[in-house]
Structure 1
Amino acid sequence: MSASGMTDPDRIWTEASGRLRAEIGEGPFSSYIAPSAVRADGAGRLILVTPTAYARDWVRKNALNRMNELWLGLDGLSRRLEVRCRAELGSAPPSAALAAQASSLQAPSALSLVAAPVATVAPVADGARAVRAAGLQDRLTFDSFVEGQGNAFALAIARQTAAWADGHFNPIFFCGPYGYGKTHLLNAIAWEAQRLRPDAKVVYLTAERFLSTFVRAVQDRSTAAFKDSLRSADMLLLDDVQFIGGKAASQEELLSTLTALIEDGKRIVLAADRPPTALNEVEPRLRSHLAAGLTCPVEPGDRLLKIAVAENRLDAFARLGVVSGRPSREVLEHLVDRTPGSMRELEGAINTLAAAAGPRLSGLGADEAQTLLGSALRGAPERRITVDEIQKTVADHFNMKQADLLSERRTRAIARPRQIAMYLCKQHTTRSYPDIGRRFGGRDHTTVLHGVRKIEELIPTDEQVARDVEALTRKLRG
């Protein structure tokens, strides 16, 4: 079948979103498109479901027309995408029309249905690593993971889990915003666990793969094979668990799978954009199981960590012969300061710089790097954003006094803006938690940590908080 005659929405979305990523850039894609997923409503119409109304509005304004152009160029049935946020669709399980349609068009065998979406790490004859089906990425190992203040604890737990250490917590649950290393840690655990125990069955898959495979298994009456493919695992790694929310039958199956694996002493590692207790769309019994082990936050990286990530990525390019030498510290700092979003956005800028500069990398100045990168960098102001400026901007945004943010008052009208200000301080300055606390009326660092994590939890779920943070970020960047 030609690319322009595909009918499976999953395949079309993979192809179309890949092209869209290249056109709009890694930052916007990671923020608004990557957390979304294609579903079918009760009438069989294809819906791009975004996590928040803010993301829905952004997609409609900036990407929907181009997305449909790409989709229509690939879809043999000439369907179009609509976009809605998760709240508009309610908590009812999605229609099985999409999976049924794909199943009837492709008619995969029970074996391919169960095995294809599940990435299983397996040794091969020459001792090299291989992956049966899509999922794991070779470059996402412990060797390529850059440790920093925000991820040190999660990294230590990941290494312990991968080593099959006794006395482990079960399940392990990594949580944090998109683009800061959760998927990297799951990949690294899978590769290392299989290296240390070649005879073990290590299974990695995303929640999206889990859902689509389960629905197809129900349609093909091959649920027994699906259950066996997961419950025979010695270690199960499940990414993007937040997407399991609102799907009753799939949640029940996941709960049964986790219960069976735990009872058999098997290892479970999960990741989501929020802690288990904040997954409000997830059924309480499943949420309780997810929270029963050890929750490890993966926090946004500070400026020093981002510089280290940039250096590490460019060193990898140098080993491949893509670039020659290292850029100056000035260029690295310029790159990091102009990409204040997630690590994925930073990596996109690094990739662009490496491709554009090549052997001239070590001789670049900041101005020339800016010219080569062009629109890949946001053009943030050269000046550094200060804690005082953040406090004044937040106070003005919420029609309050800066002194209110430093006071002992704990009413919601004061506490939430204060937490947002603390979050922005952690995002846009290099100040430590204790230092930020001192600048907010002498508060303890644990108070700041709690405030930052609270806003991280609310951004994907609370429309107003997401809008406030986005508006304040734009004001701070000028």
Structure 2
Amino acid sequence: MAGSAAEQRLTDPERIWDEAATRLRAEIGEGPFSSYIAPSAVRADASGRLVLVTPTAYARDWVRRNALRRMNELWLGLDGLSRRLDVRCRAEFGSPAPAISGSASQTQTPAAHPRATVAPVADGPRAVRAAGLQDRLTFDAFVEGPGNAFALAIAKQTASWAEGHFNPVFLCGPYGHGKTHLLNAIAWEAQRLRPNAKVIYLTAERFLSTFVRAVQDRQTAAFKESLRSADMLLLDDVQFVGGKSSTQEELLNTLTALIEDGKRVVMAGDKPPTAMTDIEPRLRSHLAAGLTCPVEPADRMVKLAVARKRFEALGRLGLVSGEARPEVLEQLVDRTPGSVRELEGAVNTLAASAGQRLAELTADEASVLLGAALRGGPERRITVDEIQKTVAEHFNLKQADLLSERRTRIIARPRQIAMYLCKQLTTRSYPDIGRRFGGRDHTTVLHGVRRIEEMMPADDQIARDVETLTRKLRG
């Protein structure tokens, strides 16, 4: 019937928000949703305008920058009264906002399901997202080029469950050029072909943190069973287990058990196994025993195709209209000389600024809209030592205080902020950061980073400190 779509539009804000939030969660991912959207609530102000009330100004600003536009698109597509959402923090709105939302914002959070980090792909799309996979990273979305053709062929062979496969497979190459995309694509395709198979995807950092938590909670047997019962294990950023013997020992035992049982293992790292000097020889030997596939930096033609494909994907989501002009794509590629991931970030920035005007946009207009995103050249390399000195100066401390054993609050919190910034602004692993903070254990660094991540959405002062320090360090 012609009127069926209109009849399905809703007027009850609670039902609209429940549906819109569910879709938004799927698009932006579990982490950002849980940090910034789930703690917020939709309320009506004195004039009757609907407002998303966030707990802090930092969360409000994040929503405005990253989610409000898409949130309103989803809302308007469902609301029979064509209302729009505004966003304000709790201090601006007044009294605390009781949540009107239902399951979308208040269920299935990481806290409610702490073991989602090793959720099997076979448990369905919702569990897949909780496990860290991204819907858009499929084989269809991957752009093939000379530097990744071999890795792509092996990835497709692995995902097909073909007999006579190489085991393990190790994808190696610089940051941001497609290794994570291929791991995601393998997981999605393997699940599609064998819905009942147990396919696990996780990063090495998640492996490390989940293992540490299992040891602390005396749940190591459950942790081992969860991983060793997999039909396929996909492990990203293997280099981050470097420097921690107990974690490497557990990973080695897991890989040995899976490979001996004929299960499939695919891993990725920033360099070939033989060059990973932080990894112990026995584990390094296992990593190198299978097939190593290089994923090399994309050339100009591949980057142009990536930019074009990303705009097409954003168009299907209704975020842009029309096709970008060739000269706009060329400028994006020529002035974003870094990784494919950085190029996609520039595309997203341009799409958010241009919106429905994309097809009309000239190269000069694109340059103005992108601003800092198209300055050209890689970002300045930031060191741990520089972060420590900047944080110490900001809090009127000495750099030695951050490295000391002192645990008073006046030192402990700046130290945690410094550790958080090291994780965000450098490529150092948790063990490596720990060594640079007076020889601390990687679990101390992990706890510090998590603590700041948890506090930022709820504590404006912490958020302002981190934002100020980040600006100083990036110049």
TM-score range, shorter chain: 0.5 to 0.7
Residues 73-126 of structure 1 show CA distances to partners (whole Å, capped at 9, x for unaligned) of xxxxxxxxxxxxxxxxxxxxxxxxxxxxxxxxxxx99x955x2321421255xx
Corresponding residue of 1:295: 292
Correspondence for 2:282 among 281, 285, 293: 285
Residues 282-332 of structure 1 show CA distances to partners (whole Å, capped at 9, x for unaligned) of 010000000000000100001111000000000111122211111111111
Q: Which runs of 5+ in 2 are unaligned?
A: 1-30, 37-57, 67-109, 378-426, 430-475
Residues 163-185 of structure 1 show CA distances to partners (whole Å, capped at 9, x for unaligned) of 00111100000011110011110
CA RMSD of aligned residues (A): 2.9
* Equivalences for residues 67-466 of structure 1 within 5 A: 113=114, 115-122=115-122, 124=124, 130-131=127-128, 133-379=130-376
Q: Secondary structure at the match of 1:117?
A: helix
**What is the identity, as a one-letter code, of the residue corresponding to 1:230?**
L
User: 2 CA distance for matches of 1:15 and 1:378?
Assistant: 30
Identity score, percent: 73
User: 2 CA distance for matches of 1:264 and 1:332?
Assistant: 48
**Counterpart contact for 1:203–1:233, Cα < 8 Å:** yes
User: 2 CA distance for matches of 1:15 and 1:247?
Assistant: 29
Q: Give the alignment's TM-score, normalised by structure 1.
A: 0.55
User: 2 CA distance for matches of 1:375 and 1:255?
Assistant: 43
**What is the identity, as a one-letter code, of the residue corresponding to 2:256?**
T
**Counterpart contact for 2:337–2:376, Cα < 8 Å:** no
Q: Give the alignment's TM-score, normalised by structure 2.
A: 0.56
User: 1 CA distance for matches of 2:337 and 2:119?
Assistant: 33
**Counterpart contact for 2:158–2:186, Cα < 8 Å:** yes
User: 2 CA distance for matches of 1:299 and 1:359?
Assistant: 34
User: 2 CA distance for matches of 1:353 and 1:112?
Assistant: 36
**What is the identity, as a one-letter code, of the residue corresponding to 1:117?**
T
User: 2 CA distance for matches of 1:356 and 1:213?
Assistant: 39
1:266 Cα deviation after fit = 0.2
1:210 Cα deviation after fit = 0.6
User: 2 CA distance for matches of 1:123 and 1:219?
Assistant: 27
Q: Secondary structure at the match of 1:131?
A: helix
Residues 47-87 of structure 1 show CA distances to partners (whole Å, capped at 9, x for unaligned) of xxxxxxxxxxxxxxxxxxxxxxxxxxxxxxxxxxxxxxxxx
Deviant stretches of 4+, over 4 Å:
none
The aligned length equals 283
User: 1 CA distance for matches of 2:216 and 2:355?
Assistant: 51
**Counterpart contact for 2:231–2:263, Cα < 8 Å:** yes
Residues 199-220 of structure 1 show CA distances to partners (whole Å, capped at 9, x for unaligned) of 1100111111111111111112
Residues 1:129 and 1:222: Cα distance change in structure 2 (over 3 Å) = closer
Q: Which runs of 5+ in 1 are unaligned?
A: 1-10, 27-107, 381-458, 462-478
**What is the identity, as a one-letter code, of the residue corresponding to 1:135?**
G
User: 1 CA distance for matches of 2:346 and 2:295?
Assistant: 22
